[in-house]
Amino acid sequence: MELRHLRYFIAVAELRSVRAASEQLHVTQPAISRQIQDLEDAIGAALFDRTSRGLKLTAAGDAYLAEARDILARVDAANRLARRIADGVQGHLRLGFVENAAWSGIVSHALNAFEQATPHVALELTPMNTPEQLDAIAAGRLDGGFCYRVGTLPEGITSTRVLEQNVVLAVPETWPLGRAGSIAANELTGKPFIAFPRRVYPAYYDRLLSACADRGLTLDIRQEASTETAILSLVSAGMGAAIVNAANRDRPPARVRFVELRDLSVPLPLEFCFSSAQTNASLKRFVDQLK
């Protein structure tokens, strides 16, 4: 049994005529009659009474008509769904992001614009640091993510550039340090600092300490915290200063002042990273829109 058997049967049942069905379907009458007979043979029941006045559905045929319509409707719905998923306008997209990257600017605009353009794609958004995102993308747990890339990407992951941030000094509001608005790195010698543990993001940690050393500064790290939110909460409590992503200026914590570093730069390129072997059409649509 094939779908054309159902389509021929429905046309004949609705029009009560093989001739009329033949004209509507642009199929010869003998071909339609043969397909209806094959359908009845496959089912093992007569679907029509053949009378001198034409065709009339049997009780079995009447019940079969409702089911046949439902089957074709579900097949058509499945076809539409498959086309929409293949076009990337329906489906599921799992994205990671570093929290401070999404507070304002292009990331929040990109997510909002994609949701407005493709409301039938379910966005699952998970805040993660960059190494966690790259591990999740490689393992297939994320489709992509907004990462601050330091160093080379893991094999099999590609990216598109979004923007570039830099670092800024965060100090407790009560400190007189940097009230002029900027400071040189060597003025921070001996000050207590708060930083990530190296294990959180080794490449960034090493680059930051190397940049400080190039300016004659060895950070006196007194406290460690695994997120910049936690780091800034300790700065707010007066526990020390911190060198953090300048994106934090878009959401300044209470009792924290941001100060420009005149001679210290650690570029932080924000990139949208994803598997180079990705097959999710919604992801392709998202990357195209982001570009």
Q: Do 167-266 and 91-144+275-290 have the same topology in CATH?
A: yes
The class level of CATH for 167-266 reads alpha beta
Q: Copy the structure tokens of residue 215.
A: 């300016």
How many CB atoms are closer than 10 A to CB 274?
Answer: 22
- At residue 80, φ and ψ (nearest 5 deg) are -65, -40
What pLDDT is recorded for position 233? 96
What pLDDT is recorded for position 52? 73
What pLDDT is recorded for position 254? 92
Domain boundaries defined on the chain: 3-86, 91-144+275-290, 167-266
What pLDDT is recorded for position 22? 87
DSSP H/E element including 285: helix 281-290
Q: What does the alpha-carbon distance between residue 4 and residue 1 come to, in Å, rounded to a whole number?
A: 8
Q: What is the dihedral of CA 138, 142, 148, 152, to 10 degrees?
A: 10
How many CB atoms are closer than 10 A to CB 108?
Answer: 14
DSSP, res 77: H
For residue 144, give the nearest of 75, 198, 212, 92 by alpha carbon: 92
What pLDDT is recorded for position 278? 83
What pLDDT is recorded for position 166? 95
CATH number attached to the domain at 3-86: 1.10.10.10
H-type alpha helices, 118-259: 130-139, 202-214, 228-236
pTM assigned to the model? 0.76
DSSP per-residue codes, 256-269: EEEEEESS----EE
What pLDDT is recorded for position 124? 96
CATH number attached to the domain at 91-144+275-290: 3.40.190.10
Average pLDDT per run of 10 along the chain, which is 291 residues long?
Answer: 87 89 90 90 90 84 93 90 85 94 87 93 94 95 95 93 95 90 93 95 94 95 94 96 94 93 95 93 94 90
Q: Which residues fall within 8 angstroms of residue 83, CB to CB, at 6 or more apart? A: none
Q: What does the alpha-carbon distance between residue 154 and residue 215 come to, in Å, rounded to a whole number?
A: 30
What pLDDT is recorded for position 53? 75
For residue 171, give the nearest of 264, 263, 259, 265 by alpha carbon: 259
Q: What does the alpha-carbon distance between residue 256 and residue 239 come to, in Å, rounded to a whole number?
A: 11
